[in-house]
Amino acid sequence: MVGYVIIGNGVAGIKAAEQIRKTDSDNKITMVGEENYPFYYRPQLPGYICGSVDEGKLWGKKKSFYADNGITLLLGQRVINVNDSKNEVVLSDRTVINYDSLLIATGGSIKSRKYPGSDLNGGIVQLKTIDDAKNIKERIKNAKNAVVVGEDFLTLSLAEALNNSDIGVTYLLRGDRLWPDVMDKDASKVLEIKLREKGIKIEHETDIKEIVIKKKAVQGIITTNDVFLECQIVGAIDKLKPNIGFLGDSGVNVSDGVLVNNNMRTNVDNIYAAGDVAQLSNDRGNDIPKINIRWLKAWKQGQVAGANMTGNDAEYDDISCISSTQVCGVDLISIGISNPLNGGYKIMRGDYPHPEIDVYKKLVLKNDTVVGALFVGNVLEAGAIIKVIRNKTKYSEIDETLLKQMFDFNYPKSLFRGFMCPVCKLELNISPDAKVGDKIVCPACGIELKVTERMLK
Ligand SMILES: Cc1cc2nc3c(=O)[nH]c(=O)nc-3n(C[C@H](O)[C@H](O)[C@H](O)COP(=O)(O)OP(=O)(O)OC[C@H]3O[C@@H](n4cnc5c(N)ncnc54)[C@H](O)[C@@H]3O)c2cc1C
């Protein structure tokens, strides 16, 4: 056997490698990563920019991990071609590596949007990698104001990171809300209130018309409403797109991402895909985003792929589309079809938006079955609702206490308690008798947390 090759040194790749080693301690594993760093916690980058997360806390693995596990790590190398008939991958320096079993775990890339003036690249930033974060940290030193434009949560993360670094942030939304893939207008309002409280200015239905550059540095932008906004940093981010460009000769079927079944198998026998690059065949409906960007999903899919690469028959059985994040202290979880784009759905959502309580929760039903949910500001019941959706439970069969706790503000909150792991964003349940100061270990990423008052609210 010539061994396993994993393209991508992110969470999906690393979890696959760990899983392979659990059953196969002998055969060679080669990991190829374009970035020059060992595995790190990408969702911690906003914290790293503003200084709340030290560089030391970013690393998910030390370099010694690879050697200790017999993994050959090729960093700073890009795979430029995969040839399935020869079972080989070609690297950017033309090295050829053979494989018996191959995992594509290349995640996605974001691109800065193009505007007049933007090709000079003076102060235009994006946030996907450590190098992006380092670049932003550097630029912040000489900046007072920033303008960001972009619709999904990576732009939200960037806006928050800049705001937490004492930069004045104006957030331009081309449409009428934040993160339209998962949020309706009322949900967006709840989050917008929080962002404004933190000092972020938000403009709807506005885009950048031109970036004003002098002496190779950004001086400001002109909006589509012809308003000049002085700024030294511009973050103009397009949606993340799966990295599949090197698969042209591979025989692997792709659509928006690499098409896989629930075993993370592609159409080619010995080629698998996992994480942000993978597109489950049942994600192809029109009511949810086709590509689901999620740390924990990449983690679980990496494990499934790794198990199957060693001859097992593991299955990824989670709901195909969940997004969870935290922005400006607001927990946010969207599950399944949270913002249907077509008709035929019924929305259940109590008395919202509530004038006093800054949370928003809703369930989405199709033929009385719960197919989606959205939690903004409070995710206590998200874990329980994930089970409801996974089990295809009818609305009329849901535990009444759960619905009361979600939708009735006067109901004493005690039975369903949860919060989001700050590292891997897993929805963690807290037992009803938990007290402030109790220790909780996240079963996914292993981080140790202490119960705070906020978690018990
Ligand atoms: C700022 C930020 C905040 C985030 N916050 C959250 C959050 O709150 N909640 C959440 O669930 N998710 C969050 N995410 C998303 C999460 O990080 C991703 O879902 C997760 O990292 C996906 O893991 P992956 O292994 O599939 O891909 P990645 O982590 O993208 O890793 C893929 C790796 O493959 C490498 N690669 C790509 N092409 C090639 C090639 N041709 N050859 C060799 N190597 C290649 C890339 O350089 C990269 O290192 C955030 C992401 C960012 C950037």
CATH code (residue 168): 3.50.50.60
Residues 104 and 251 in one domain: yes
Spans in the chain with pLDDT lower than 50: 284
Last residue of a domain, one of 178, 206, 236: 236
Does residue 315 fall inside a structural domain?
A: no
Token pair, residue 222, equals 């002109």
Which residue among 137, 276, 425, 427 has the greatest number of ligand 1 atoms within 8 angstroms of its CB, and so is best to mutate?
Answer: 276
- Which residues form the domain of 277? 4-41+55-108+241-309
Taken in order 107, 341, 187, 230, the sign of the CA dihedral is: positive
Q: How far apart are CA 71 and CA 58, in angstroms?
A: 21
**pLDDT 10s digits, 254-286:** 999 999 999 999 999 999 999 999 998 765 455
pTM of the model: 0.91
Q: Can you tell me which atom of ligand 1 is nearest the CA of 296?
A: 11
| CB-ligand 1 contact for 33 (6 Å cutoff) | yes
Q: What is the pLDDT of residue 252?
A: 96
Last residue of a domain, one of 206, 236, 266: 236
C-beta atoms surrounding 226 within 10 Å: 8
- Burial level of 85, CB count in 10 A (0-12/13-18/19+)? exposed
Residues 370 and 407 in one domain: yes
| CB-ligand 1 contact for 303 (6 Å cutoff) | no
Look up the CATH number of the domain holding residue 452.
3.30.390.30
Residues 269 and 411 in one domain: no
Does residue 267 fall inside a structural domain?
A: yes
| CB-ligand 1 contact for 127 (6 Å cutoff) | yes
| CB-ligand 1 contact for 38 (6 Å cutoff) | no
- Closest-CA residue, ligand 1 atom 26, reads 275
Does residue 279 fall inside a structural domain?
A: yes
Residues 450 and 373 in one domain: yes
Do the strands 145-149 and 233-236 form a parallel or antiparallel pair, or are they unpaired? parallel
* Cβ proximity of 129 and 137 under 8 Å: no
Last residue of a domain, one of 236, 261, 286: 236
What angle, 0 to 180 degrees and rounded to 10, lies between the N-to-C axes of helices 400-407 and 382-390? 130
Q: What is the pLDDT of residue 120?
A: 66
Does residue 46 fall inside a structural domain?
A: no
Does residue 409 fall inside a structural domain?
A: yes
For residue 14, give every residue at least 6 positions away whose Cβ sits within 8 Å of its Cβ, in sequence order, or none: 31, 39, 60, 61, 302
For residue 104, give every residue at least 6 positions away whose Cβ sits within 8 Å of its Cβ, in sequence order, or none: 7, 8, 82, 244, 247, 252, 258, 266, 271, 272, 273, 274, 277, 278
Does residue 314 fall inside a structural domain?
A: no
* Cβ proximity of 298 and 317 under 8 Å: no
Token pair, residue 275, equals 């994480």
Residues in the chain: 457
Does residue 264 fall inside a structural domain?
A: yes
Does residue 49 fall inside a structural domain?
A: no
Residues 266 and 298 in one domain: yes
| CB-ligand 1 contact for 324 (6 Å cutoff) | yes
State how many domains the chain has.
3
Residues 71 and 182 in one domain: no
Do the strands 278-280 and 258-260 form a parallel or antiparallel pair, or are they unpaired? parallel
Residues 88 and 181 in one domain: no
Residues 103 and 124 in one domain: no
| CB-ligand 1 contact for 244 (6 Å cutoff) | no
Residues 360 and 301 in one domain: no
Residues 101 and 250 in one domain: yes
Q: How far apart are CA 419 and CA 276, in angstroms?
A: 24
Q: What is the pLDDT of residue 122?
A: 64
For 363-401, b/e burial (b = at least 16 CB within 10 A) is bbbeeebbbbbbbbbbbbbbbbbbebbeeebeeeebeee
For residue 365, give every residue at least 6 positions away whose Cβ sits within 8 Å of its Cβ, in sequence order, or none: 345, 346, 347, 348, 371, 395
Residues 222 and 246 in one domain: no
Residues 368 and 405 in one domain: yes
Token pair, residue 148, equals 């960001």
- Closest-CA residue, ligand 1 atom 33, reads 8
